Amino acid sequence: MSETSQDMHGKPINKIAMMALLMIGSFVIILMQTSLGTALPTLMTAFNVDTATVQWLTTIFLMVNGIMVPVSAYLNTRVPTKALYLAAMVIYIAGTTLALVTPSQHDYFWMMMVARALQAMAAGIVMPLMQVVALALFGEESRGKALGMVGLVIGMAPAIGPTLSGWILDKDHSFLGLTLAGDWRSIFSVVLPIAILVLVLSIIYFKDVLPTSKVKLDIRSLIESTAGFGLLLFGSAMVSDHGWGNFTWVIAPMLVGLLIIAEFAWHQYHMETPFLDLSVLKNRQFAITTALVCLTFIAMIGVEMVLPIYMQQVRGLTALHSGLSLLPGALMMGALSPIAGSYYDKHGARNLVIFGFSLVFIGTIPFYFLTETTPTIYITTLYTLRMAGIALTMMPLTSSAMGVLMQNQVAQGTAVNNTFRQVAASLGTAILSSIMQNVINNNTPANSLKVRDPLEYGQNMLNASLDGFHATFLCAAGFVLAALILAFFMHRGKLNAQGKKG
């Protein structure tokens, strides 16, 4: 496939401008996935809500995002590219503006929930759209390089989010002429003008590069997709509050969700034009690489969640300093993603992925031996090594998955790949967080010791926390080891859609 130089209407495309706008707009949208994590304690005080309530700002984002990703395949096929991207930016700007003007009162917390849902809708649209557009703008020989640029956004934005919000909340300063006085609203005011600028420029430079057709929306599939993935993600999000044994909030929603998803999958296989074409999973190489992408995200998101907690609770670092300690890892991922894409274009993914997962495994195992006095520079070095490995696996895997599909399957394949990745990240986070909490609970000293010997109680509580972190890191290493083994089953070199080496 030659590089696309004209849009669907025969008009010339400024590919550099279009790709830059796509990446910048997607970056500020995906940034919101993790940016509020550091600000949750501040929001608890501002809205006078408890921990369980404020966590819904994260839960609602994951749920709505996960629901929207399967819908993206239909939207990419039905809605012109430019209109879809502009709509995503408008939705994001509306959500961010709503969050910015929400009064800091308990009775208005629902407005923050709506704002987060709107932001998640935008994220669910742009993540798959960014990949499909990148593949359309660049030829098959540049597929890895194009998705390497996409990796800058998908990998770096969630990693930088906590650092950015920690920096904003830490002290008074200004940015783009705005006064940031350590207020939670500043998290939204920083990205809003960038999003508006991207929207304005996209009206000029963004073009329709994906073919569309008047595909009829299958309401049954939409309802089943929304209910099935929504309940599954809801149940997994409730694990941290209620544990895996809770039937009402965890087991029942996940079980019903899985049953609906099973019916949804059966329905898709019997449709002439599927809402989400799961038949792409019959392609062995697509299925293997998609499974590896899921394991990559579990390895990345899980440790990104646990490590800041360790650094703040055990090491006593501030949110800003814990975020800054992990920033080199995010920058390393950004630097290596395009390089990994270029390597894939020449040599394929297998050797690169095996080497990458080896680095992730080597960088994860030492976390099992962390203590309350482990030097911060040691943690930063290990985390940077892990992120280097993830950068060498994520986009080459995605490129490899898309490379074995026909051009008319790319939008559906991207939706399937992103759906599985989103669900895996949610379930993986639930598994790792529950392991950490269960081990801590099982090793927490008796309250009577707090009165009898406060110093010993404090030390035992610290040891219980460390045991929880150690168990979590060991589990994460297990996921990485499984990925490393599975990577040996990948094809050598590059395969095209006909299964021939390219």
> What pLDDT score does 2 carry?
40
Residues of the chain with confidence (pLDDT) below 70: 1-4, 51-52, 139-144, 171-182, 240, 319, 493-502
Amino acid in the structure at residue 473? F
CATH 1.10.3720.10 applies to domain 10-215: no
Tokens of 490: 């990948």
pTM: 0.79
Q: How far apart are CA 421 and CA 152, in angstroms?
A: 17
| Token pair recorded at residue 372 | 């309350």
Q: Give the residues across from 175 on adjacent strands.
A: 178
What's the distance, CA 484 to chain centroid? 21
Per-residue pLDDT, 213: 81
Bridge partner residues of 12 (DSSP): 6
The class of domain 275-502 in CATH terms is mainly alpha
What pLDDT is recorded for position 435?
Answer: 82
Closest CA to 293 of 131, 88, 441: 131
Dist CA 344 CA 348 (whole Å): 4
